[in-house]
Amino acid sequence: MANTVLYPGDTVGVIGNSANAAMLVTTARKMGLRVGAYGADETSEALQLADFKAVGTTKDRDKLQHFAESCAAIVYDSDRVDTDVIKFLAQFTRVPQGSDMLEMMQDRLLERAFFDQLNVNVAPYATIINLDDVYQSVNSIGYPCVLKPIQKEWSHGRELVIKTQTDIAKAAGLLDWGTYILESQIAYDREFSIIVARDQEGNQQAFPITEVQSVNDRAQKTWVPTQLDDDVASEIHRIAGEVGKNVNYVGVFEVSFYLTSSGAIYVKKIVAAPSETGYVFGDAATVDEFEQHMRAVCGLPLAQPTILTPAVTANFTASQLTAIQTQWQIKANWHFTFYHLRKPADDDVVGHISVQGTAVKPLLDQLDDTAIWSTPTDPAVD
């Protein structure tokens, strides 16, 4: 495709209300772009930081159209954005990230068909229509396994971890919601992530591999550099490169992996947007994921990310704020980022800290010594 360049003074729109949206707004403004933000909550940080804001829901087609026509291009903040909205906006302006990758990664069957096309390892799974399917499929998939709705947006409260046959009966009510998949829970030793930027011409630039510790399917801690066998690192880079070759997408995306004790690599998921596992590069590297994302969207050359210092980031929730405030007073090497959420629930992530030093292990030990962050004991449910 022809390279379309955005220059300082051009207008870019950001759609979404997450912490990523605010970071995209800040980055775009720093690059000299005029920035508009669209969202339902006019008090959200992204809308407050933008040069102009458009307040509306995803159902307000007139407002969406007007917003799109006011922007030379639009970026979205997360993989939870409604694909129908992105397709609608694309009728009136450029949306470089597109909707193809987003749509594919929001549907678990489409996602796994894509993984099969790339011939990569994923957790064994089966398509589930009724309760009999669960009883039949669990024999080949084994315990523990997870029952998940095909559409990821429906996942909250509609997933079931099955550890024994007696758990299967609990699935009866869930299956009334539609088609599910039954997926094996991988017993993994370590989890890794790689952020890749893809420009308008299909060129790719990968960030260094990060190691991740997840709790309840959310990245809790992320660090670089990580100690990793060359063969494993090479395979992670190869798979991420194949993903980039087979998608119609401009910007940064994440591919995350499980590594088992036997050295087997499984793809966990792909995120078609900037990812929280990439926050670590904000203080650790020559370029962060948000600038790289905007460089791709604006048609600029992709920077080559280089690690400047070992670093760890750790997310904190609303329930941990009191403990975080204690550390605020005593930690000279902690850098705090708050997301300014209105009325967050106790388990909502409301910010993250970033710590730099001469080596990763002392940094992780420093976090562990505070007893703020728990250690995961069970495989995450994605």
In the DSSP assignment, the letter for residue 249 is: -
Cα–Cα distance, 354 to 310 (Å, whole number): 11
Residues 233 and 138 both lie in one domain:
no
* pLDDT above 90 as % of the chain: 90
Write the pLDDT tens digit of every residue in 245-264. Answer: 999 999 999 999 999 999 99
DSSP state of 45: H
Mean of the pLDDT values across residues 142-157? 84
Q: Is the pLDDT of residue 121 over 60?
A: yes
Domain hosting 356: range is 190-369
The Cα angle at residue 251 between residues 248 and 252, in degrees rounded to 5: 110
238 C-beta neighbours (distance < 10 Å), count: 12
227 and 359 both lie in a single domain: yes
CATH code of 246's domain: 3.30.470.20
234 falls within a domain: yes
Mean pLDDT of 198-226: 95
**Listed residues 162, 184, 206: the one ending a domain:** 184
Cα 3 to chain centroid, rounded:
26
Clarify whether residues 34 and 146 are in a common domain.
Answer: no
Q: Are residues 171 and 195 in the same domain?
A: no
Whether 50 and 27 map to the same domain: the answer is yes
Q: How far apart are CA 210 and CA 293, in angstroms?
A: 18
Per-residue pLDDT at 343 exceeds 90: no
Do the Cβ atoms of 274 and 252 come closer than 8 Å? yes
Residues 324-335 have pLDDT tens digits of 999 999 999 999
As a whole number of angstroms, the distance between CA 80 and CA 103 comes to 10
Per-residue model confidence (pLDDT) at position 272: 97
Q: Does one domain contain both 180 and 201?
A: no
Q: Is the domain of 198 the same as that of 332?
A: yes
3-state secondary structure of 97: coil
**For residues 125-164, b (16+ Cβ closer than 10 Å) or e, as one string?**
bbebeeeebbeebbeebeebbbbbbbebeeeeebbbebee
Torsion of CA 345, 348, 351, 352, to 10 degrees: 140
- Provide the CATH number for the domain around residue 180: 3.30.1490.20
Backbone phi, psi, residue 58, to 5°: -75, -10
For residues 82 and 174, state if they share a domain: no
Question: Quick one: 171 and 228 in the same domain?
Answer: no
- Is residue 281 in a domain? yes
**What pLDDT was estimated at residue 341?**
87
Tell me: do 150 and 291 sit in the same domain.
no
Average pLDDT over residues 125-147: 94
Looking at the whole model, is its pTM more than 0.85?
Answer: yes
Do 300 and 321 lie in one domain? The reply is yes
Domain end among 184, 201, 226:
184
Q: For residue 69, give the CATH number of its domain.
A: 3.40.50.20
pLDDT tens, position by position, 151-183: 887 656 689 999 999 999 999 888 887 899 999
Residues 135 and 230 in one domain: no
Please say if the pLDDT value at position 1 is more than 70: no
Contacts of 341 (CB under 8 A, 6+ apart): 318, 348, 350
Q: Which residue has the tokens 């030990």?
A: 365
Bridge partner residues of 160 (DSSP)? 147
Compute CA distances 44 → 5, 47, 274, whole Å.
29, 6, 18
In-domain check, residue 6: no
Number of domains present in the structure of the chain: 3
C-alpha dihedral, 201 to 206 to 207 to 210, nearest 10°:
140
